[in-house]
Amino acid sequence: MIVDRQGRRFRNLRVSLTSACNYACTYCVPDGKRLVAAQDELSAEAMARGVAYLIEAAGIERLRITGGEPLVSPKLEAFLASVSTLGLDDISLTTNGQLLTRKLPLLIDAGIRRLNVSLDTLDPDAFRRIARGGDLATVLDGMAKASQAGMSIKVNMVPLRGQNHDQVVPLLDYCLERGYELRFIELMRMGHLASDSNAFLQQFVSLQQLLQMIGEGHEYLQADAPIDATALRYEVPGRGHFGIIANESVPFCRTCSRLRLSSTGWLHGCLSSSNRHYIGDLLDKPRHQALPALQRLLMKALGDKQPVAFSGGATVMKIIGG
């Protein structure tokens, strides 16, 4: 097992199935251009082999499928069919929910039981302004259908000052009423937000500010969370839970166990580092040749992790997956 001096190792793998997306969220895609799949995207089979090799070489236990938008990828079905046979403890998926109703039977058949659905507002106008694509009612309907089918749903919201911060409490109530767990994600200094401090600071809403807004109308208590969890978790007694991923306010790099694989075959050990390591060429090789080379690259990727805090990075979620 590859472990660093801080005792960190890779347990959680996030695979970006494609960089294509049917949204162009303002904080992720500053120029608003629709994201398409990279020309050198790996096949579903190669990506699934990558997952299998990483399970062996790094001790990966849990997989999250992300993007871009994973539900737009034509590789989804073949990828799910392969990775669902690999004996992972958990496979989950992050989606904007636009195609959820349509793809639900496929997800259920593949054994997916946990979804993170990104939703920044319940206001249709603000939704169009932020996501620059999609339709709010379709997302809400997809979540309801997934929940009725027995899926556990977490909702990801990035609070942005002046754009959707008035939605913090309404969205929390909406989620509590339906048994969804809301995760507020503090805005991260990635891509254009890493190089433009003003744009970042103007929009940033902190953990403290979120708790203050919530505390005005809700009682909450701190709840338990796994040691390598990214989110601080809170209970609203009698109603449910919510979480805050406080990258800036309470950095969690010290216990980070995440590894990312891009749709074009690059490993990323840290969101805050622009280092990446190509494994696409190893995926055609038999196991005994691929694994030693992969282990060397994993050591480098682990060495890319920040010791304490996320300090921003040129890479963007749309490429390496949130």
Rounded Cα distance between 171 and 161, Å, is 15
Nearer to ligand SAM, 49 or 154 (CB): 154
From the CB of 82, what's the least distance to ligand SAM, in Å? 20
User: In 3D, which of 57, 11, 15 has the Cα closest to residue 287?
Assistant: 57
Nearer to ligand SAM, 52 or 188 (CB): 188
Nearer to ligand SAM, 54 or 93 (CB): 93
SS (H, E, C) 111-166: CCCEEEEECCCCCHHHHHHHHCCCCHHHHHHHHHHHHHCCCEEEEEECCCCCCCHH
User: In 3D, which of 184, 123, 186 has the Cα closest to residue 154?
Assistant: 184
Nearer to ligand SAM, 49 or 318 (CB): 318
What are the residues whose beta carbons fall under 8 Å from the beta carbon of 314, sequence distance 6 or more?
A: 190, 191, 194, 195, 274
Which positions touch ligand SAM (CB under 6 A)?
Answer: 21, 27-28, 66-67, 69, 94-96, 118, 156, 158, 185, 187-188, 190, 193, 317-318, 321-322
From the CB of 248, what's the least distance to ligand SAM, in Å? 10
Query: 307, exposed or middle or buried, with CB in 10 Å at 0-12, 13-18, 19+?
Result: exposed
From the CB of 312, what's the least distance to ligand SAM, in Å? 10
From the CB of 191, what's the least distance to ligand SAM, in Å? 7
From the CB of 92, what's the least distance to ligand SAM, in Å? 11
Nearer to ligand SAM, 60 or 319 (CB): 319
Report the Cα 33 to chain-centroid distance in Å: 21
User: In 3D, which of 243, 247, 264, 265 has the Cα closest to residue 256?
Assistant: 247
Nearer to ligand SAM, 170 or 292 (CB): 170
Nearer to ligand SAM, 2 or 144 (CB): 144
Rounded Cα distance between 156 and 39, Å, is 29
From the CB of 299, what's the least distance to ligand SAM, in Å? 27
First-to-last alpha carbon distance for the chain, in angstroms, is 25
Rounded Cα distance between 66 and 261, Å, is 10
What are the residues whose beta carbons fall under 8 Å from the beta carbon of 288, sequence distance 6 or more?
A: none
For ligand SAM, which residue has the nearest CB?
A: 322
From the CB of 195, what's the least distance to ligand SAM, in Å? 12
